[in-house]
Structure formats: C-alpha cells, structure tokens
C-alpha cells in the first residue's frame, strides 16, 4: 500500500525515508511471510515451510512420529497453524518429499509430556521428524530412503548418538504408539540409526531385572505395562504378550550390552 504525504511536510525528504524504513521493519515483523526470510539450520534438500511454533534449544535426540493423517497437506496445515500448538522440525511425505518447518536450533513442539533416561523436557533436547502415515499402513521405501538421507544430513551437523534415535512411543509410552509396529526399525539400524539386536541372543545372568533393564535403556517405568508395550512395539512387534518372557529378557540384555550389535548396511 502506498502512503502519500504533501511535499514539505515533516514526513517528506530524509525524515520520511527514515520513518519508512521503520514502518517497513515493523510491518515485516508482523507478516508471516517474513518468517521464511530468516536464516535456518537444516537440510538444503528440504523445502522450507516455516511453522511459528518453536523456541531456542540444543538437540541431542531425534524423535520419529507418524502424522495419523491421510494427506501431507492436512498434516502440514496442522503443524504450521499458529493456533495448533504443535510442530516438528521436518515432515516427510509418502513420496519422499522432505519439508522443514522449524530451524534445527529451535525448540519445536512435537514430544509433549515425555521422558527418556531421566530427561523430561524432550522438546528442548530433540529434533522431531513427522512421517506422513496413518499408523496402519506400510511406510513406502522412498519415504524411508528420504528419512535415512535426512538422518545422515542431521548427523553431519549434530553429534547425536545412534542410540538416541527414538520413537515417540518410546518417550511417551502411556499415550503414544507412533510411528507404530509397521515402522522398519531394523532397516534404520542397518543404516546406523537406532538400536537393534538380531537373534540368537545371549541368556542374561541370574537375577537379571528386566524392569531395571528397561529403565537403564531409557524407558520411563513408572507404569511398567506401558513401558513393556512400548519396548515390544519397537523391538518385538509380533509379540502380543503383555509380560516380558525369557526371549524378551535376552533381547533386552543384548540391547544393553552391545549398542553397536548390528553392522551398517548388513543384510
């Protein structure tokens, strides 16, 4: 919009130019479009779709989610709406398209009430990645390939241990199940992200306390049934028993003993 002032008025000449710069700056601060002009730390391969829902912080974890939506557009609308109160750093479509919503150095709002290894403010300590998926469908190979490429990209900027690539269900077992039992955790571990153990497993020593083992791995065991369900959802998705059996004990012991138990890109 152009604003006209009469020649010779106090707003003309140099005074007007100075005021105009101030007006432009103030206007920019209140325009959502100006958010896209800010510098960002993130993947050059991702299209920048800024969300206003973030705060500063430093990341030491990656948390994986599924959107529970049918379309990327719907999920993007929720994650970037100023009134939704939710966001993530990245959103990956079923076709492998990668969108960045929040700078990696900023605190996105994706983890909610959660805990891992005694850390209770996971939003402040993590990078959130949403995968466009209903939670009841297989993840397309092109989407997982895009995720692995993004994780490698993130690792080039942050010294995030492989063990710290987690599921939302891992950190909030009482209320979350994503990214679900169909997520290919073994494939991710083969690429160097997240833990995994293939059988045969070593029998744990006599007196091995599986609940303490879950806590040592990172789970919040205040509600044991929820922690057990989250552990099985990720590491033994075909096991529907609500209790930990001898095989689960051996699997858990393997994860605790040998975090590098599976070689990258192994068959």
Which residue among 104, 130, 174, 243 is the active-site one? 130
**Number of alpha carbons in the 13 Å side-chain half-sphere of residue 71:** 3
Distance from C-alpha of 164 to C-alpha of 166, rounded to nearest angstrom: 6
DSSP 11: T
**Structure token pair of residue 89:** 């750093």
Q: Which residues contact 177 (CB under 8 A, 6 or more apart)?
A: 135, 169, 233
**Structure token pair of residue 130:** 């949403």
**Number of alpha carbons in the 13 Å side-chain half-sphere of residue 242:** 4
130 given a catalytic annotation = yes
Residue (of 101, 203, 106, 90) closest to 147 by Cα position: 90
Q: What is the DSSP string of 146-183?
A: HHHHHHHHHHTTS---GGGEEEHHHH-TTT--TT-TTS
**Structure token pair of residue 53:** 């829902």
Catalytic residues: 130
């Amino acid at each position: 919009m152009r604003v006209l002032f009469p020649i010779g008025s106090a707003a003309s000449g140099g005074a007007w130019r100075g005021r105009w710069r101030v007006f432009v700056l103030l206007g920019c601060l209140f325009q959502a479009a100006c958010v896209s002009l800010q510098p960002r730390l993130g993947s050059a391969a991702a299209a920048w779709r800024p969300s206003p829902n973030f705060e500063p912080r430093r990341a030491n974890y990656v948390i994986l989610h599924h959107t529970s939506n049918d379309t990327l557009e719907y999920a993007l609308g929720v994650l970037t709406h100023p009134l939704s109160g939710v966001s993530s750093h990245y959103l990956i479509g079923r076709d492998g398209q990668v969108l960045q919503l929040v700078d990696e150095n900023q605190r996105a709002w994706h983890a909610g009430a959660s805990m891992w290894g005694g850390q209770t403010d996971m939003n402040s300590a993590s990078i959130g990645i949403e995968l466009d998926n209903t939670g009841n469908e297989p993840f397309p190979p092109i989407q997982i390939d895009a995720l692995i490429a993004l994780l490698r990209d993130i690792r080039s900027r942050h010294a995030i241990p492989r063990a710290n690539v987690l599921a939302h269900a891992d950190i909030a077992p009482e209320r979350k199940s994503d990214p679900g039992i169909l997520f290919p955790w073994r494939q991710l571990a083969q690429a160097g992200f997240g833990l995994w153990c293939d059988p045969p497993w070593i029998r744990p020593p006599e007196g091995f306390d599986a609940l303490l083992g879950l806590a040592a791995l990172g789970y919040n065991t205040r509600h044991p049934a929820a922690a057990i369900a989250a552990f099985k959802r990720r590491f033994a998705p075909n096991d529907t028993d609500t209790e930990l059996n001898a095989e689960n004990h051996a699997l858990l012991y393997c994860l605790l003993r040998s975090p590098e138990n599976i070689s990258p890109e192994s068959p």
